[in-house]
Amino acid sequence: MDKRKIILDCDPGHDDAIAIMLAAKSGLLELLGISVVAGNQTVEKTVRNALNVCQYLKLDVPVYQGCKQPMIREKQMVAGDIHGESGMDGPVFEPLVKTAEKKHGVQFIIDTLLGSEGDITVVTTGPMTNLAMAMRLCPEIISKIEEVVLMGGCYQLGNVTPAAEFNIIVDADAAHVVFTSGCKITMVGLDVTRKVLCYPEIVERMGKQDNAAARLFVDLMKFFNKSQKEVYGWEGGPLHDPVTIAYLIDPSVLTIKEMYTEIDIRSEQSYGRTNCDFFHYSGKEPNSRVAVDIDVEKFWDIIEDGIRQYSQGG
Ligand code: RIB
Ligand code: CA
């Protein structure tokens, strides 16, 4: 069976790093490239982090620097309280040799989609600026996208404000562009990612494997869990971004409900809210497939198997 082709647009980020790890060696996925966006930290830092992950895991995947600020919002939000000053505090890497490609991340997305047979899934695990800018610059790519799978939003509680989740609130206008594009959209929100808390016993389980991926997982989660405990009181950090990749590896890991979703780009208090019409109350045609539950055991098995791929000399 042909591998599913994906572009991963991300803002590494501890959990983005695990998403890269899981996608890059999956026998079911072909990771065509990584475009990086400002989010958890400035784009210079998130690019550096993506390059470090690829170099450390010996991944021959091109990395492209994308947008350094939201489409419209003046204020660039970062998440240093969760991901640290570097955006991926914790692991110590060898001097960085791998460099980003010359092409801009937005142009990479456009060129790759335009040159495809319409069989590419775009996964976003950071603010959606790069994908939205690509859609605005070149609307022809919209019909070429097989599916957008995003980590972002929530139909319940947010994590930056009660209303909004980080990836959306950082650039809600970008999310609006994507959610109104007509693409097939699968939204993996906090509603399910907060069910996969990376408890110490999970870290210990994943660390039992003797390979670079296991070691990186442990180093990343040690920092991530500490900051998540300090900020939110979680006993284990919610492993947000890899849920998108786990869904592509085994869609049965998620329970999906079709909903009409509208992004709040106008209000003050609720700016960045993904207003998901859970009860179909508006009568509006659903434009998104929203994850409403996750098979937690299956998810951790997928993560464990993803780490195992780095032992098999691949
Ligand atoms: O709200 C969680 C999301 O914001 C995750 O993707 C995390 O990496 C940050 O980007
Ligand atoms: Ca992220």
- DSSP bridge partners of 36: 10, 65
Taking a C-beta distance cutoff of 8 angstroms, is the pair 180, 216 a contact? no
Regarding the beta carbon of 40 and ligand 1, being less than 6 Å apart is answered: yes
Q: Which atom of ligand 1 is nearest to the CA of 14?
A: 8
In the structure, what pLDDT confidence band is assigned to residue 118 with cuts at 50, 70 and 90? Answer: very high
Residues in the chain: 314
SS3 119: coil
Of 9, 11, 15, 277, the catalytic one is 11
Ligand 1 pocket member 272 (CB < 6 A): no
Of the chain, the end-to-end C-alpha distance in Å amounts to 19
pLDDT tens sequence across 64-110: 999 999 999 987 899 999 999 999 999 999 999 999 999 999 999 99
pLDDT confidence band for 190 (50 / 70 / 90): very high
- Secondary structure (3-state) at 234: coil
Atom nearest to 193 CA in ligand 1: 2
pLDDT tens for 264-314 read: 999 999 999 999 999 999 999 999 999 999 999 999 999 999 999 999 754
* DSSP, residue by residue, 131-146: HHHHHHH-GGGGGGEE
- Whether 11 sits among the annotated catalytic residues: the reply is yes
**∠63-64-66 over CA atoms, to 5°?**
140
Q: Where in the chain are the domains?
A: 4-190+238-293
Model-wide pTM > 0.95: yes
User: In ligand 1, which atom is closest to the CA atom of 11?
Assistant: 10
Burial of residue 309, with CB atoms counted within 10 A of its CB: 0-12 exposed, 13-18 middle, 19 or more buried = middle
In CATH, the number for domain 4-190+238-293 is 3.90.245.10
Cα of 208 vs centre of ligand 2, distance in Å, is 26
pLDDT at 74: 87
